[in-house]
Amino acid sequence: MSAQSAHEAAPGDTAGDAMPDAMADASAELAAIRLSIDNIDAALVHMLAERFKFTQKVGRLKAASGMPPSDPERERAQIARLRQIALEAQLDPAFAEKWFNFVVAEVIHHHEQLATGAIATSSSAPSSAPGDAS
Amino acid sequence: MSAQSAHEAAPGDTAGDAMPDAMADASAELAAIRLSIDNIDAALVHMLAERFKFTQKVGRLKAASGMPPSDPERERAQIARLRQIALEAQLDPAFAEKWFNFVVAEVIHHHEQLATGAIATSSSAPSSAPGDAS
């Protein structure tokens, strides 16, 4: 199942060497899984970057039209939807909700700064900060 | 730029109606952006679900072979890499790091439970909880 370790068993090896080989196998398997995790993390960061482009746009729109930075009804609907998607994908819905609330909190903080003028509202403003949750 | 509102300006409308129209335009634009945010969120939750399948595998592997639940050197390398990816994607690297630490904390908590036997280590264990960060 895992990649063969560099630590090959010599002919005649007995149970005495089984543990080091098992450890080498576990290390090789861990390294392989980590490559997949790294790929997924790169995808997640890119998706987050794309999400924040949209939420920054929402933040500027809300600030320019005087809408409040947060929208509790929208957030409730988002949480219910994401919990359902998590369930179907076999992810703990409680984790999905906690994760979403973390992202939203960052974003509302940014909106409040936009609303109070602490951040420029023009589209040429630096785009490095998170935008809007909802 | 935004979708035309249902609230069309009648011929001869003057500045007096500009504000309601602008608000309707802003609402229509907000609704359109939110559809994109919803699509991205669904993708993010699915990617997180996939990430946790791998980290659960790591958690079981570490528990079975006696490796510690956390790996500070691996985490430092992950953070440096994700900050770089965030920069290139125009996402605030500080947010990317904060987000990563949030995910890792959840996952290490899960590993510790695996290591202490609070969670079954067999692959038939319920897969609803987060797995391993690193």
- In a domain, residue A5? The reply is no
Q: Which comes out higher in pLDDT, residue B39 or A68?
A: B39
For chain A, the domain total comes to 1
- In a domain, residue A7? The reply is no
Give the chain A residue whose CA is nearest to the CA of B21. Answer: A65
CA angle A39, A47, A108 (to 5 degrees): 135
pTM of the model: 0.74
- In a domain, residue A87? The reply is yes
Q: How many CB pairs under 8 A join A and B?
A: 153
- In a domain, residue A2? The reply is no
pLDDT over 50 (residue B1):
no
Mean pLDDT taken over chain B: 79
Domain CATH number, residue B52: 1.20.59.10
- In a domain, residue A37? The reply is yes
- In a domain, residue A129? The reply is no
- In a domain, residue A91? The reply is yes
Backbone angles phi, psi at B55, to 5 degrees: -75, -30
Residues whose CB falls within 8 Å of the CB of residue A49, separated by 6 or more in sequence, listed in order? B86, B89, B90, B91
Give DSSP secondary structure letters for A26-91: HHHHHHHHHHHHHHHHHHHHHHHHHHHHHHHHHHHHHHHHT--S--HHHHHHHHHHHHHHHHHTT-
- B129·A92 Cβ contact <8 A: yes
One-letter amino acid for residue A57 of the chain: K
- Measure the CA–CA gap between A27 and B34, rounded to whole angstroms: 43
What's residue B17's pLDDT?
54
Residue with tokens 């006696």: B66
Task: Give the ipTM of the model, two decimals please.
Answer: 0.74
Average pLDDT score over residue span B100-116 = 81
- Cβ-based contacts of A113 with chain B (< 8 Å): none
- In a domain, residue B48? The reply is yes
- Residue B119 — very low, low, confident or very high, per pLDDT cuts 50/70/90? low
What is the per-residue pLDDT across A97-111, written as a single tens digit (0 to 9) for each? 999 999 998 887 777
- A50·B40 Cβ contact <8 A: yes
Average pLDDT score over residue span B108-129 = 59
- Cβ-based contacts of B44 with chain A (< 8 Å): 44, 47-48, 51
Distance from CA of B76 to the nearest CA of A (A): 13
- Residue B19 — very low, low, confident or very high, per pLDDT cuts 50/70/90? low
Question: Which residues of chain A register pLDDT less than 50?
Answer: 1-15, 121-133
pLDDT over 90 (residue B82):
yes
Residue range(s) defining the domain that contains residue A49: 19-115
- Residue B52 — very low, low, confident or very high, per pLDDT cuts 50/70/90? very high
